[in-house]
Amino acid sequence: MKIEWYPGHMAKAKRQIAEVLPKIDVVIEVLDARLPLSSANPMLEKLRGSKPCIKVLNKSDLADPLVTSAWVKYFERQAGVRALPIDSRKRSAAAQIPKLCRRLVPHRGVPGKTLRAMVVGIPNVGKSTLINTLAGKKIARVGDKPAITTCPQQIDLRNGIHLADTPGLLWPDIRNQKSAYRLAASGAIGEGGMDYPSVALFTAEFLMNHYPGQLAKRYKFDELPENAAALIDLVGRRRGCLATGGDVDRFRTSELLLRELRAGLIGPVSLEMPGEDAGQEDPA
């Protein structure tokens, strides 16, 4: 099944970002640390041009720390880019962002010269949680489903920095289906745009190849199943996801596997590594 998901408000979001960007000093792009390249929007790179950019690798507590370290090095080879792995729910971690903004734009953020930053990111990547943490109060709506933020907001952090919040923005035509499946596994794709069993099979195969020890520990097996379908069946039986007659309910099992992956119950997992076929392709 080809994955495509582009809620109508996202076309408007692109126009809003293009209108606001000329007044912005630094772009804060929130990425999912488990899939930093797939969760980066190729449209944004064109829109921001040469403006300084902080790549916030959010949900780093759920990602493989060694892989995250490699991603930081990957991004910081780009001119004007700094990468920062954090858990956006923690104020001590989020507090590094204003400091980094001032280092990137040293002539702003002082009396009489407000530093204007724009926070962008694909749906369900933790953008609103980060804004609330930076502001020290609930300003942006937060949810565990994509497309929570649908209108732009302006937030005064009262420290010389103003934030422009934008709706979650996702490329409308995900040409690289590996990237699409990673996004679906992470929860960035709406339920209407994905098929749980096919995404779970993709995820199961990846986990078997890269994190077999964590799978064995979580689902208590001694030998690795022969393929992804067999792993789904094993998980279903271990968790009691059975249909009438005792067969495994693969839909329920697929939901369970993805839910446990997203919650970090399988352990720290990165769904892509630098150098792999990870990113989204730009439409022709």
Kindly report, residue by residue over 104-119, the tens digit of the pLDDT: 999 887 777 899 999 9
Residue in the block written with tokens 């792999």: 276
What pLDDT, on the 0 to 100 scale, is given for residue 11?
Answer: 65
- The pLDDT of residue 94 is above 60: yes
Determine contact, residues 34/66, Cβ cutoff 8 Å: no
Q: How far apart are CA 196 and CA 252, in angstroms?
A: 9
Does the structure show a pLDDT above 50 at 137? yes
Structural domain spans, the chain: 9-165, 177-262
d(CA 50, CA 38): 21
> By mean pLDDT, which of 48-62, 66-80, 124-138, 151-165 is the weakest?
151-165
Q: How many CB atoms sit inside 10 A of residue 276's CB?
A: 10
Provide the percentage of residues in the chain whose pLDDT is more than 90. 54
Q: Count CB neighbours of 173 within 10 A.
A: 12
pLDDT at 12: 66
Q: Is 127 helix (H, G, I), strand (E, B) or coil?
A: helix
CA atoms within 13 A on the CB side of 65: 3
CATH (residue range 9-165): 3.40.50.300
Q: What top-level class would CATH report for the domain 177-262? A: mainly alpha
Q: Where are the beta strands (DSSP E) in the chain?
A: 26-32, 53-58, 81-85, 115-121, 153-156, 161-165
d(CA 122, CA 17): 13
3-state secondary structure of 246: coil
- pLDDT, tens digit, 9 for 90 and up, residues 201-257: 999 999 999 999 999 999 999 999 999 999 999 999 999 999 988 999 999 999 999
* Whether the predicted pLDDT of 283 surpasses 90: no
CA–CA distance, 80 with 151 (Å, rounded to integer): 28
Q: Tell me, what's the pLDDT at 148?
A: 39
Q: How far apart are CA 231 and CA 221, in angstroms?
A: 10
